[in-house]
Copies of this chain bind each other. A is one copy, B any other.
Amino acid sequence: MSITARKERQKEELKGKILQAAKALFMEKGFEETSIRNIAEKIEYSPTTIYLYFKDKDDIFHALHTEGFVLLNQYFRPLAHVSDPFERLKAVMKAYINFAKENGEFYDLMFIINSPMKSVEKEAGEWEEGKRAFEFLIGTVGECIQRGYFHGMDAEVVAFTLWSMVHGICSLEIRNRCSVVSALNQEDLANKATGVIQEILERMHSKPQ
């Protein structure tokens, strides 16, 4: 009895160690530069052992992908207590951008890199943490609409649009498209763009209050 339990525990432990090693390498070198052989070396197992715990490389990074969404939701959680929905909305967008800045490689994996989506699309049904994040945004937008913001628009569509806006800034910065286009410091430009979006948002209430 307890002996199979111990084995189970040990298997889970090693699976955790693989993930932990993958995460460390991934965070310091990025997705492309992290190989299964690297991960294996780090945990002092043979590369093929990893295939006993994960189907393939995508599978590993799919696990990190959902881990990233857990982290993003941690950025969002405190904002649930902001009662004014428009203030909350602005705070969510700021938090999203901060998340991107502070977790560049995770952001890349979650919103840019192709690899993890193959697994996500297969799962279809489940995708809890990702949907939680987006639904928090939709909910907030919905409340804003009730208060006269984004008049006549659909909450889901507006939420997606706002997400697109901040994602545009974050992904252009992460993939280095800012510096080549402007004399401005890359981070500066992104900050100012964020300012413009805030400015735009302010003008989005048709019937104030």
User: How far apart are the CA atoms of A136 and B127 in the complex, in Å?
Assistant: 41
Of residues 120 through 149 on chain A, the ones whose CB sits less than 8 Å from some CB of chain B are 120-121, 127, 130-131, 134
B117 in contact with A175 (CB, 8 Å): yes
A111 in contact with B165 (CB, 8 Å): no
Residue A48 lies at the interface, judged by CB distance under 8 Å to chain B: no
Report the stretch among A4-12, A36-44, A150-158 that lies at the interface: A150-158
**Closest Cβ–Cβ distance, residue A193 to chain B (whole Å):** 4
> How many monomers of this chain does the complex have?
2
A168 in contact with B163 (CB, 8 Å): yes
User: How far apart are the CA atoms of A106 and B127 in the complex, in Å?
Assistant: 30
Question: How many residues on A have C-beta within 8 angstroms of the other chain's C-beta atoms?
Answer: 46
Partner of A112, one of B158, B171, B184, B192: B171
**Contacts A192-B154, A204-B200 given; does A169 touch B164 at CB 8 Å:** yes
Chain B residues within 8 Å of A112, by CB: 112, 171, 175
User: How far apart are the CA atoms of A122 and B182 in the complex, in Å?
Assistant: 15
**Closest Cβ–Cβ distance, residue A168 to chain B (whole Å):** 3
Partner of A172, one of B164, B177, B179: B164
3 shortest interchain CB distances as A-B pairs: A168-B168, A164-B168, A161-B196
- Chain A positions within 8 Å of B, measured between CB atoms, are 111-114, 117, 120-121, 127, 130-131, 134, 153-154, 156-158, 160-161, 163-169, 171-172, 175-182, 184, 189, 192-193, 195-197, 199-200, 203-204
